[in-house]
Structure formats: C-alpha cells, structure tokens
Chain A
C-alpha cells in the first residue's frame, strides 16, 4: 500500500511542497501523486527526480498518477 498525494486543483508551488514534505525523510518506497495539469506534472517530476526518485506515469480512471519509487 503506497501513499497517495492528491494535488488536483492546487497551483504552483503547492504540489511540489506537498510531495516534498511527504517524501522527506523516507528511505525509499512508493508514493503516488495525482496531478491534473502539465505544470504540476513537470514540477513534481523535476523535484522528485532531483531527490533520486524514479518517476513512472500511469493513467487511472482518467487521472494522471505519478508513481515515485526509490
């Protein structure tokens, strides 16, 4: 069971703030991030990627989910 961060309706920099606070201190694991716009997708991917997390994308029920793994 992985954590889910819902960033829908939030604008810059809230999605990155939420994701960073969620992954901060985590040794590894999986965190799912629901994004609803291209900017959030880019910003969250860039921020998590810079922390060494791998990012995969999935389309689930019309929602884009970023699956962060480390």
Chain B
C-alpha cells in the first residue's frame, strides 16, 4: 500500500483541496457570509455557541451549517473509506483547556488560521500581524516538540463513543431544520439568531451545508491542516501541507479580485480591529494551542468526525472558550480588544506553557 493510493494525500491532491476551499470561502462571502469570513472555524463555532444561548452577544448568534457539514462530511468520508476509528483518552482535560485557549486567543485576533488567510486574501493588512503571531505560536510549539512534548497515546474506544460527536452535530442540524430563522425575530424555538452584525450575515442553508459537507469530505481525505502546514515546514522542512495552505490564500485572493471583494488597507476592514500587537499576541496563543493539541480548529472538527474523541473534546473546549470570551469581555470587536482581552492573553499563554512544559520529557522514545 503506497501513499499515492489516496489521491488527495498527494501534493496535487492537497493543492486541489486548498484551491477548492479558497474559492468556496470567497464565494460564500458573495452568497451572504460576513466579509472576509467565508469560512472561519473559530468565528463559526462562536456563532454556534451564541445560537444555543451559551453566550448572549446579540451580533454573533447563528448555528453555522458549514461547521455541521465539516464534521458530517468527514464522518461520511471516514465511513466510506474505512477510516472511522473510535479513539481517545490522550490527556482529554489538557486538550479541552487547549481548545479554550485556542478560541480565546483567536477571538482576540478575530479569526482562526483559515480566516487569517481569508482576511489577507481580502486585503486586510491587520491579518499580517495575526499571521505572524500564528507562525510564532506554532514555532514555539515546535520547540516543545523538539524537547519531547507529547500528550500521550490514545486508546481504542467503543463505536458509541466514536459516534458521539457526529450524533451531537446531527442533533444540531435537526434543531436548525426545525427552528429556522424567522424574519425580524431574535429567537426561533430554542435557537437564537442575530438581527444585525456578522451573525445576521449568512449564505442560504442549503449552500452553506453543501459547502461544509464537501469541504469536510475533501479535508478528511487530504488531512488538510493549516497549523500542520506551518508546523511541518518549521519542524521537518516539509512543504506538503504548506502547499495547500498557500493555494487556499492564492485561490481566495484571485476569487476576491474577480468578485470585487479585495479592499486593501488596515482601517475599517470587516469584523477586524487594527491593534497590531494584540492581533499578533492573540494568534500566538491560538497558534501555540493548536500546535500543542496537534491540529488547527478545522482539522480538529474533521478528526472528531473520524471518531477521535480527543479532537471532540478540543472542539467542546473551543465552544466553552467562545462562551467565556463573550460572557466575560475577553473577545475583541471592531472597536478593539475587549475589556479583559489582555488578561485573557496572559492567562491563556500561561496555561499553554504549563501544558507544554509539564508534558515534555527529554528522554522519551
């Protein structure tokens, strides 16, 4: 069995996937998603957190179908290719906390690595600082890896445990279908909806869900990971995942140019602030968290669909982090960082370092 058996795990495959995500993300903006936010795993997880009432920031509440599609698409692909493998038990609480710190850091910047690329592709210069922070955070993570950092081995889990995340996500999809948005109403059944702000900007359900499923399927096959792209380049000088990462940026840029969505500058960029240092610092925290947890937020969703309950725990940590961010004033807004954003960055960085240092053994292997 050689590597080329899976076409999407080849260099050509990962480039095709990066291009598809870049084009579709830019198109989703055209179809209704917020500016430079065709797909943002952190923002969309945060919107879902709001939709189920775990935070009540009125402008960011929407049960984003893209996220549901990511998990369900990956689940379907894993089943179809016999890669659904229930597993878990590798330092779950550490992964939960890393999910929280990743989300809190990302919401100081206002975007996950996917959105950092999309913001760059839309001309948002502030994303340069976020991208620099992301790379710095992942680089710090590689230092831990070089010293023997490891969260330990996972174990086989029951099929039921592996099915929990896909079932949870399917349940959210059912809620979205039963309680769809009602014109002018901030609540529909048990779900909350934004009437203004980014949460009120969304593409039609069928399109969002179809794109989500398609991307979930592609990403499961290709192992697309934005954090892994930078990490593998820094750690192994390996360009494989990075070629998909760069292609996403290029494809989104070209699509934005074609659609008139490219607006270069630093001020008044959509759902962004221009506090350079905190854009950088927020993403240092997020990048380090993703590195220590072994995957970007998208990859964690895809792995949770494959039956990886450690990745599922990370995702639930992100949801909790989003709730904390908006309930306790940690998240930024276009006006700048939140009232407790600085404290959040410091505390989250401290937790990351604690997890990094205490799980590092020089004499491993």
Binding site for B on A (CB under 8 A): 5, 8-14, 16-18, 20-22, 37-39, 41-42, 45-47, 49-50, 55, 57, 64
Contact = CB atoms under 8 A, between A and B. Distances in A.
Contacts of B83: 37-38
A57 B223 contact: no
A46 B3 contact: yes
Nearest to B239: A50
A13 B232 contact: yes
Interface string B9-24: 1000000000000000
Nearest to A20: B236
Nearest to B85: A37
Given A46-B240, A57-B2, A64-B1, 19 more contacts: A5-B365, A8-B153, A9-B87, A9-B90, A9-B155, A11-B90, A12-B295, A13-B231, A13-B294, A14-B150, A17-B145, A21-B365, A39-B223, A45-B3, A47-B238, A49-B3, A50-B238, A55-B2, A57-B1
A38 B85 CA distance: 10
Contacts of A10: 150, 153-154
B181 interface: no
Contacts, number: 59
Contact of A13 (B3, B6, B145): B145
Contacts of B3: 41-42, 45-46, 49
A32 to B, nearest CB: 15
Nearest to B11: A46
22 contacts: A5-B365, A9-B155, A10-B150, A11-B310, A12-B228, A12-B294, A13-B232, A13-B236, A17-B235, A21-B365, A22-B365, A37-B85, A41-B1, A42-B3, A42-B6, A42-B223, A45-B3, A46-B3, A46-B238, A46-B240, A50-B238, A57-B2
B228 to A, nearest CB: 7
Contacts of B6: 38, 42
A5 B232 CA distance: 20
Nearest to B311: A11
A25 to B, nearest CB: 14
Given A38-B83, A41-B1, A18 B365 contact: yes
Nearest to B9: A42
A45 B223 contact: no
Interface in B289-314: 294-295, 308, 310
Interface string B227-246: 01001100110101000000
A42 B1 CA distance: 10
Nearest to B82: A38
Contacts of A42: 3, 6, 9, 223
Contacts of A50: 238
Contacts of B85: 37
B182 to A, nearest CB: 43
A41 B2 CA distance: 9
Nearest to A44: B3
B104 to A, nearest CB: 23
Given A13-B145, A42-B3, A42-B223, A47 B295 contact: no
A38 to B, nearest CB: 5
A11 B154 contact: yes
B91 to A, nearest CB: 11
A47 B150 CA distance: 19
B38 to A, nearest CB: 26
A55 B4 CA distance: 13
Given A37-B85, A38-B6, A42-B223, A16 B236 contact: yes
Interface in B301-357: 308, 310
B275 to A, nearest CB: 33
Most chain B C-beta atoms within 10 Å of own C-beta, residue among A5, A18, A46, A64: A46
